């Protein structure tokens, strides 16, 4: 099973990226979690370029984003909140996926790492519902993961008993939901 993980942060020392990398370390056998690395390279969304009748006109970075989403059995999303909203770079990626054939129906788990990120979680849920994602509530961590804000790297998060327990539990529910999903 291939799961594509999106960190909505471009920061080098992002707690969102570190948490997703920790989930990759903690993934059960047979589950490959791949961190999407192209967020900063996506062009600004332009509906003039997003035409289904001419997919060859899509920027190559967008074609690659859609290809990776298409290959994934599900998506993990961990994104920060900026100015009470979804991070602009991540919203841009979602905008490029709105008209894609690869995204609708995709199982998604939301992982909140920030103690004050409540507005972006609500916005993400609204955006994802509009995009026909299938948010797996039991696999989403809506209360901030306690302790992630201590500037821990992926190895330290995976080694922490409480953090790893929360992440393993979310992953277990997510994998079950993905396996049970109709094709």
Strands 81-82 and 74-78: unpaired
pLDDT at 37: 96
pLDDT at 117: 75
Take residue 159 and report the two structure tokens written for it.
């080694």
pLDDT at 8: 94
Of 33, 43, 95, which Cα lies nearest the Cα of 68?
33
pLDDT at 5: 98
The string of pLDDT tens digits covering residues 6-55 is 999 999 889 899 999 999 999 999 999 999 999 999 999 999 888 767 77
**Architecture label for domain 2-180:** 3-Layer(aba) Sandwich (3.40)
* Rounded-to-integer distance, Cα 125 and Cα 94, Å: 12
pLDDT at 113: 85
pLDDT at 54: 76
The string of pLDDT tens digits covering residues 125-181 is 999 999 999 999 999 997 666 566 667 899 999 999 999 999 999 999 999 999 997
Phi-psi region for residue 38, left (φ > 0), alpha (ψ -120 to 50) or beta? alpha
Residues 79 and 112: beta-carbon distance below 8 Å: no
Helix (H, G, I), strand (E, B) or coil at 78: strand
Mean pLDDT of the chain: 92
């Amino acid at each position: 099973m291939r799961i594509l993980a999106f960190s909505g942060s471009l920061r080098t020392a992002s707690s969102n990226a570190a948490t997703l990398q920790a989930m990759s370390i903690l993934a059960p056998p047979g589950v490959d979690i791949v961190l999407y690395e192209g967020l900063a390279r996506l062009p600004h969304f332009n509906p003039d370029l997003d035409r289904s009748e001419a997919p060859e006109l899509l920027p190559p970075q967008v074609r690659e984003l859609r290809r990776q989403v298409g290959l994934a059995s599900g998506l993990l999303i961990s994104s920060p909140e900026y100015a009470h909203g979804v991070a602009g770079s991540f919203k841009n990626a979602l905008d490029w996926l709105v008209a894609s054939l690869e995204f609708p129906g995709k199982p998604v788990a939301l992982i909140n790492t920030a103690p004050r990120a409540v507005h972006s979680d609500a916005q993400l849920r609204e955006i994802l519902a509009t995009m026909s994602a299938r948010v797996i509530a039991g696999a989403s961590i809506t209360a901030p993961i306690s302790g992630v804000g201590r500037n821990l790297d992926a190895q330290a998060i995976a080694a922490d008993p409480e953090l790893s327990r929360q992440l393993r539990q979310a992953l277990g529910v997510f994998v079950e939901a993905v396996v049970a999903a109709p094709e």
